[in-house]
Amino acid sequence: MNTAHTSSTRFSPADIEKIRADFPILKIRVKDHPLVYLDNANTSQKPQCVIDALKEYYQDYNANIHRAVYEISERATAAYEASRTRVAQFLNASGNNEIVFVKGTTEAINLVAQSYGRPRLKPGDEVLITALEHHSNIVPWQLVCEQTGATLRVAPINLQGEVIVEEYERALSEKTKIVAVGHISNALGTINPIADMIAKAHAVGAVVLIDGAQAAPHTPIDVQALDCDFYAFSSHKIYGPTGLGVLYGKKALLEAMPPYQGGGEMIKWVSFEKTLYQDPPYKFEAGTQHIEGAIGLKVALDYLCHLGLDAIGHYEQELLYYATNLAREHRLNIIGEALHKASILSFTLDNIHAHDVGTILNHYGIAVRAGHHCALPVMEFFHVPATLRASFSFYNTKSEIDCLFEALRKTREMFK
Amino acid sequence: MNHDELSELYQEVIMEHNHHPRNYGVLPNANHQAAGFNPLCGDRINLKLNIDQDDKITAIMFEGNGCAISIASASLLTEMVQGKPVAEAYGLFEQFHELLTGKTVNTASLGKLTVLAGVNAFPARVKCATLAWHTLKAALADDASTVSTETGNDL
């Protein structure tokens, strides 16, 4: 590891300066301004150590995995599997065979919907999601419900953007076979009380999938303590390479599920009469995998854990608090004011459309998301076509947030 | 991009049309209509118009919500095509599209629409400026389904 930061529970301004130096992209300029990257919920930037790991793989040991006896292939296989071990540790899974590498959170959810849900769901069964979900935790369930005749139910949210737990509980019954809930809302930042939601779902015999795409970069996760049945997250949002994701599944469930895709590497034996599949996780990893992605993800998780997730959490909350106060001072219309929030600030500015604001902010080098955040039902609930979303990472600073508000002030002036 | 490009995009005429869109509302007894939607940003435009037996657009109104560029463009569109033969409206869209995508074009016939020329420095915003025009095309063709900017090839 080429970083030398402390892992005490709070970052000092000097720590943040050192951390920023680990991310080469933070030195670039956009439109003659330093890049102010506040779109971390969309994708995160990569530290030099992750970039170096990708380069090292291609320069020093590029080879396919699990199928050759020569040295560089053995090295690549070991690095790929070391990543699986790292991920298992990161999630506190009980074993490596509970960690499946996939393309991303979206593919993980589709895999569970098709391999777990499709063979089991029947007409009369129910799948329960919440009104906060990202499209990727809605559409796969709609598809499997169409295929099986099961019914999709939606637990509503309140005006703060929180799931109404009593309504969620009321929606659960012995008909509920699968519950799929986002750990943290990408559109609003709401942190759902998933431990409680999982326990309640289990009480009626449902299996629970947690969409952790927004949570994994910000908060420690312990899948055994949570007792969730599936947990999914994406590498690119947690400072790792794009195109890779993780599906955690309880061993017994993964063993009982048919493969999601067929191909090489996922078989024990193939004949035209019958194919014997590998055991999990390999049963779900057909074809050549995103080898360098997994290698990079391990380095990203090492980096993150070296900084310390507690310190990251504290600092990001500090940024959120600072930005939220400024947003109130500037009379922004904050969308989503849950009691427990991750470092995401979704808002609208007067009656100015989010895309106009986004274009003007870009002019000052500021990158925020402007749009519906792949959560159209959330936008409809709050009667807005789109919002602006500033999402903060541990490499952001209060002075960058000041830049955002100064640019918003100028935007207002233009639209006066 | 420099500051001039931004002020070129959000010039006064555009801001004014955004604040006070012309022909805004629901046209009663329209004989053609269509709805346009940009799934990337959620902008929606409903367009209603009347075409007489000589294929002339005699009345046109729109309503919807969207960014300053899409609202101003819709407003300017209604001003431009009102009273024009349908064939001429099609021709205007073609020339307007060329203007937005930076191809050289004789701007003389585009009149006020040239205020949107600045959009060509912002490729991500071309779809905002063409949403109303795609909707007009659908209305002229009596296409009842909602048109989406994602089925065209603006970029």
DSSP string, A89-104: HHHT-S-GGGEEEESS
The pLDDT of B105-122, averaged and rounded, is 85
For residue B123, pLDDT beyond 90: no
Verify that A277 and A264 share a domain, yes or no. yes
Please indicate whether residue A305 is annotated as part of the active site.
no
The DSSP letter of residue A283 is: G
In this complex, the residue of B6, B65, B128 whose CB is nearest that of residue A385 is: B65
% of chain A exceeding 70 in pLDDT: 98
For residue A1, pLDDT beyond 60: no
pLDDT band of residue A284 (cuts 50, 70, 90) is very high
Whether residue B40 contacts residue B127, with contact meaning beta carbons closer than 8 Å, is answered with yes
For residue B146, pLDDT beyond 80: no
Q: Is residue A4 part of a domain?
A: no
* Pairing assessment for the beta strands A33-34 and A275-277 based on DSSP bridges: unpaired
Verify that A247 and A389 share a domain, yes or no. no
Alpha-carbon distance of A383 to A42, in angstroms, equals: 22
What is the pLDDT at residue A5? 52
pLDDT band of residue A79 (cuts 50, 70, 90) is very high
What is the pLDDT at residue B42? 76
CA distance to A218, A261, A262, A264, A342, per residue, from A286 (Å): 30, 6, 6, 6, 35
Judged by DSSP in three states, A249 sits in strand
Kindly report the average pLDDT of chain A as a whole number: 95
DSSP string, B27-53: -TT-SEEEEEEETTTTEEEEEEEEE-T
Domain count, chain A: 2
Q: How far is A353 from chain B (nearest CA, A)?
A: 5
CA distance to A87, A232, A278, A287, per residue, from A101 (Å): 10, 10, 15, 12
For residue A342, pLDDT beyond 60: yes
Q: Which CATH number does the domain housing residue B67 bear?
A: 3.90.1010.10
For residue A288, pLDDT beyond 90: yes
The CA-CA-CA angle for residues A352, A356, A357, to 5°, reads 75
Tell me whether residues B66 and A385 touch, CB distance under 8 A: yes
The pLDDT of A72-98, averaged and rounded, is 97
% of chain A exceeding 90 in pLDDT: 89
Q: Is residue B66 part of a domain?
A: yes
Please indicate if any CB of chain B lies within 8 Å of the CB of A149.
no
Which residues of A fall within a CB distance of 8 Å from B68? Answer: 352-353, 356, 415
* Last-in-domain residue among A305, A331, A365: A305
Tell me whether residues A356 and B69 touch, CB distance under 8 A: yes
Tell me whether residues B41 and A372 touch, CB distance under 8 A: yes
Q: Is residue B75 part of a domain?
A: yes
Nearest residue in B to A384, CA atom:
B42
Name the residue range of residue A184's domain: 52-305
Please indicate if any CB of chain B lies within 8 Å of the CB of A111.
no
Q: Which CATH number does the domain housing residue A385 bear?
A: 3.90.1150.10
pLDDT in tens, A316-330: 999 999 999 999 999
**Inter-chain contacts counted by CB atoms under 8 A, chains A and B:** 52
For residue A201, pLDDT beyond 80: yes
Kindly report the average pLDDT of chain B as a whole number: 88
pLDDT band of residue B147 (cuts 50, 70, 90) is confident
Which residues of A fall within a CB distance of 8 Å from B12? Answer: none
Is A346 or A69 the better-scoring residue by pLDDT?
A346
| CB neighbour list of residue B57: distance below 8 Å, 6 or more residues apart | B49, B50, B51, B81, B82, B83, B84, B85, B86, B89
In this complex, the residue of A356, A363, A379 whose CB is nearest that of residue B68 is: A356
Verify that A203 and A292 share a domain, yes or no. yes
* Last-in-domain residue among A305, A338, A361: A305
* Pairing assessment for the beta strands A387-391 and A344-348 based on DSSP bridges: antiparallel
Verify that A167 and A242 share a domain, yes or no. yes
What is the pLDDT at residue B104? 64
Report yes or no on whether pTM surpasses 0.80. Answer: yes
Q: Is residue A6 part of a domain?
A: no
Q: How far is CA A280 from the centre of its chain?
A: 23
CA distance to A197, A348, A356, A379, per residue, from B41 (Å): 32, 14, 11, 11
Which residues of A fall within a CB distance of 8 Å from B67? Answer: 353-356
The pLDDT of A212-216, averaged and rounded, is 98
Domain count, chain B: 1
Verify that A124 and A208 share a domain, yes or no. yes
The pLDDT of A265-291, averaged and rounded, is 91
The pLDDT of B121-140, averaged and rounded, is 92
Q: Which CATH number does the domain housing residue A243 bear?
A: 3.40.640.10
Verify that A282 and A142 share a domain, yes or no. yes
Both tokens of residue B112? 């006020």
Find where tokens 């990337």 sit.
Answer: B40
Tell me whether residues A371 and B40 touch, CB distance under 8 A: yes
Verify that A253 and A154 share a domain, yes or no. yes
CA distance to A81, A241, A294, A334, B11, per residue, from A64 (Å): 13, 18, 13, 49, 56
Name the residue range of residue B47's domain: 3-146
Whether residue B66 contacts residue B44, with contact meaning beta carbons closer than 8 Å, is answered with yes
For residue A4, pLDDT beyond 60: no
Verify that A130 and A82 share a domain, yes or no. yes
Alpha-carbon distance of B104 to B88, in angstroms, equals: 19
pLDDT in tens, A222-240: 999 999 999 999 999 999 9
Determine how many CB atoms are found less than 10 A away from the CB of residue A234: 29
Both tokens of residue A251? 């061993």
Whether residue A21 contacts residue A2, with contact meaning beta carbons closer than 8 Å, is answered with no
Maximum average pLDDT range among A79-93, A274-288, B1-15, B41-55: A79-93
pLDDT band of residue B38 (cuts 50, 70, 90) is confident
Whether residue A330 contacts residue A408, with contact meaning beta carbons closer than 8 Å, is answered with yes
What is the pLDDT at residue B39? 79
Whether residue A153 contacts residue A129, with contact meaning beta carbons closer than 8 Å, is answered with yes
Q: Is residue B10 part of a domain?
A: yes
What is the pLDDT at residue B151? 58
Residue numbers of A between 330 and 359 with CB closer than 8 Å to B? 352-356, 359
pLDDT band of residue B155 (cuts 50, 70, 90) is very low
What is the pLDDT at residue B105? 66
What is the pLDDT at residue A181? 98
What is the pLDDT at residue B101? 86
The pLDDT of A72-80, averaged and rounded, is 96
State residue B11 phi and psi, 5-degree precision: -75, 165
Tell me whether residues B1 and A363 touch, CB distance under 8 A: yes
Q: Is residue B23 part of a domain?
A: yes
Alpha-carbon distance of B82 to B57, in angstroms, equals: 6
What is the pLDDT at residue A51? 98
ipTM of the complex: 0.85
In this complex, the residue of B6, B41, B125 whose CB is nearest that of residue A363 is: B6
Q: Is residue B153 part of a domain?
A: no
The pLDDT of B11-38, averaged and rounded, is 94
Which residues of A fall within a CB distance of 8 Å from B43? Answer: 353, 355, 385
Element (DSSP H or E) covering residue A296: helix A291-307
pLDDT band of residue B2 (cuts 50, 70, 90) is low
Judged by DSSP in three states, B61 sits in strand
pLDDT in tens, A149-166: 999 999 999 999 999 999
Which residues of B fall within a CB distance of 8 Å from A371? Answer: 40-42
